[in-house]
Amino acid sequence: MKFFLFHLMPYANLDLNFTEKYDTAWVTLPNSYFDPERGHELYNRYLDELELGDQLGFDGVGINEHHQNAYGLMPTPGVIAGALSRRVKGKIAVLGRALPLLNNPLAIAEEFAMIDQITGGRLIAGFVRGIGAEYYSYGISPARSHARFLEAHDLIVRAWTEIGPFHFEGDEYDFQYVNTWPRPFQRPHPPVWIPSQGSRETIVWAAKKKYTYLQTYSPVAAVKRFLEMYKDEAQKCGYAASPDQLGWMAPIYVAETDEQAYAEAKPHIEAFVSKFLRMPQQLSRPPGYLSARSAQAVMSAKSVLSTERTIDVLLEEGSFICGSVETVARKIQETQRTIGYGNQLCLMQFGTLPADLTRKNLELFGSRVMPMLRQRIAA
């Protein structure tokens, strides 16, 4: 099993009383809530935390892309990846770039090729459609997201693997000259990972491409359902999906005892799910974004999260892993054995979790939980 330290880089200094005036921290929350002085501190703190994870032995670090919100301050994750590329020695996973939002996907081909060159081939290229709210921020029709995603993907992969210049002509993009400089370090191109909330179309497509599929923050039952769907689709394509092709991202908190972990994490994980993740239905799943079948599956799988947002519910459904070293290791091991995934993405800072508790969380997980799990899973 491989472990990746995943970071959302939230605006942890958010005034949580914003919900008295606004119904979400996405798209419409005024940027007057952002203090540039605090933002400077947070960016550098978060880079330190990712570098610490690398020093503690995580196999890689993961970052992602979101726009106009307090949930994640990485509208351009390539900037963060570039800042990490000289000091982090493990993999750097950009999970991922929202392809349909850009009118020129070649910018991503170039950006990722540069990071791959600087790191000597340690980039993992994550591609996503972006959640529904992003389409309001960018003024893009969500009904076009699937077609734009597929075509942008094809353009980027061809730009990485074909000698240019050549003409790319599609329904969404048309470029007379595709001639990417620099080319990626890895051949034929960096590994592609596909994070998703559980869209059936995305899972079917990822299985056909044999790309690694990551289930984002979800109850364990949903994780199992969607990863089993990927395995089934892989079988239809004539192969058995390996654990390396499957992953799950979950928030994790470790402390000296179960009771201490619960008490320390409670206000911050509840702020994460009830404040930072809070979003009206029309923002998260706008009309046309998901097919009717996928929308029904995603909503059913995540129904608990939409109604109850206490730490007790999160622990019961398994969407949050919290406890002592032994408890956290046991929970991850049990889930991994049940589902058979090979990539654990560990969200060790969430919502308002402060620097001292984040550091303790990282150090306990990195120095004690990870070695225990590596030994047990390998046995």
pTM (whole model) above 0.85: yes
| Helix (H) / strand (E) containing 77 | helix 77-84
**295 — pLDDT class (breaks 50, 70, 90):** low
Q: Please tell me the predicted confidence (pLDDT) of residue 190.
A: 98
Instruction: Provide the 10 A C-beta neighbour count for residue 50.
Output: 25
**Domain CATH code at residue 213:** 3.20.20.30
**294 — pLDDT class (breaks 50, 70, 90):** low
Residue 279 pLDDT > 90, yes or no? Answer: yes
Q: Please tell me the predicted confidence (pLDDT) of residue 276.
A: 97
Q: How many helices (H) and strands (E) does the chain have?
A: 15, 11
Strand 192-196 to strand 246-254: parallel, antiparallel, or no bridges (unpaired)? unpaired
Q: Please tell me the predicted confidence (pLDDT) of residue 1.
A: 94
**379 — pLDDT class (breaks 50, 70, 90):** low
Q: Please tell me the predicted confidence (pLDDT) of residue 309.
A: 82
Q: Please tell me the predicted confidence (pLDDT) of residue 376.
A: 87
Give the count of domains, the chain.
1
Q: Is residue 1 within 8 Å of residue 377, measured between CB atoms?
A: yes
Percent of the chain with pLDDT over 70: 95
For residue 181, give its domain range.
2-378
Residue 306 pLDDT > 80, yes or no? Answer: no
Q: Which amino acid, 64?
A: N
Q: Please tell me the predicted confidence (pLDDT) of residue 287.
A: 87
SS3 169: strand
Residue 302 pLDDT > 70, yes or no? Answer: no
Q: Please tell me the predicted confidence (pLDDT) of residue 211.
A: 98
User: Token pair for residue 333?
Assistant: 């091991």
**298 — pLDDT class (breaks 50, 70, 90):** low
Q: Please tell me the predicted confidence (pLDDT) of residue 289.
A: 86
Q: Please tell me the predicted confidence (pLDDT) of residue 304.
A: 38
User: Token pair for residue 104?
Assistant: 């020129």
**19 — pLDDT class (breaks 50, 70, 90):** very high
Q: Which residues contact 193 (CB under 8 A, 6 or more apart)?
A: 93, 95, 96, 124, 125, 126, 127, 211, 212, 213, 214, 247
Exposure of 284 by Cβ count < 10 A (0-12 exposed, 13-18 middle, 19+ buried)?
A: buried
Residue 77 pLDDT > 50, yes or no? Answer: yes
Residue 305 pLDDT > 90, yes or no? Answer: no
Place of tokens 């939230």: 10
Mean pLDDT of 278-291: 86
Alpha-carbon distances, residue 111 vs 129, 133, 140, 264 (angstroms): 18, 24, 22, 39
Digit-coded pLDDT (tens) for 311-350 = 999 999 999 999 999 999 999 999 999 999 999 999 999 9
Which position has the higher pLDDT, 287 or 227? 227
Tell me the average pLDDT of the chain: 94
Residue 170 pLDDT > 60, yes or no? Answer: yes
Digit-coded pLDDT (tens) for 220-257 = 999 999 999 999 999 999 999 999 999 999 999 999 99
Digit-coded pLDDT (tens) for 79-131 = 999 999 999 999 999 998 999 999 999 999 999 999 999 999 999 999 999 99
**291 — pLDDT class (breaks 50, 70, 90):** low
Q: Is residue 184 within 8 Å of residue 112, measured between CB atoms?
A: yes
Dist CA 79 CA 112 (whole Å): 11
Q: Is residue 339 within 8 Å of residue 247, measured between CB atoms?
A: no
Residue 196 pLDDT > 80, yes or no? Answer: yes
| Helix (H) / strand (E) containing 177 | strand 174-178
Q: Is residue 49 within 8 Å of residue 6, measured between CB atoms?
A: no
Mean pLDDT of 247-276: 98
Helices 36-55, 355-364: crossing angle, 10 deg rounding: 10
Long-range contacts, stretch 71-75, CB < 8 angstroms, 24+ apart: 71/8, 71/10, 71/25, 71/26, 71/276, 71/277, 72/8, 72/9, 72/10, 73/9, 73/10, 73/11, 73/39, 73/42, 73/43, 74/8, 74/9
Dist CA 193 CA 198 (whole Å): 14
